[in-house]
Amino acid sequence: MRTLFLLLTLALNAAIVGLFLYSKLLPYKDKLTGNYKSIFNFFDNLYTPVFNGLKKSFKPHQVGIGLFIDMTQFILLIILLLLLNFLT
């Protein structure tokens, strides 16, 4: 049972790091090469359906004139952090 919690904790940590890298590399996805492109594509395939589902409930939040924050990434980060906190 302890091993399962350890694996889930590691998976959630990887998902959080992947979400961070995904958000930073998304504007440059066409310029990625090799292993970086395949890792990005893995997280893109993982997160895109989640983001599409969340976009139905959460609209972008305006933080300035013509400047909006994508709330789906923020909400997913909160969910992942809460799950991680629940496991530890």
Mean pLDDT over residues 58-78, rounded? 91
Q: Domain residues of the chain, as ranges?
A: 2-87
Q: pLDDT tens for residues 36-50?
A: 999 999 999 999 999
Kindly tell me if the per-residue pLDDT of 1 is higher than 90.
Answer: no
Q: What angle do CA 49, 86, 81 make, to 5 degrees?
A: 45
Cα gap 33→21, rounded to integer Å: 15
Which residues have a Cβ under 8 Å from the Cβ of 7 and sit 6 or more positions away? none
Query: What's the rounded mean pLDDT across residues 8-28?
Result: 93
Confidence band for 79, pLDDT divided at 50, 70 and 90: very high
Q: If we measure between CA atoms, which residue out of 62, 55, 49, 54 comes closest to residue 79?
A: 54
Quote the pLDDT of residue 47.
93
Using only C-alpha atoms, the chain has a radius of gyration, in whole angstroms, of: 15
Longest dimension (CA), the chain: 51
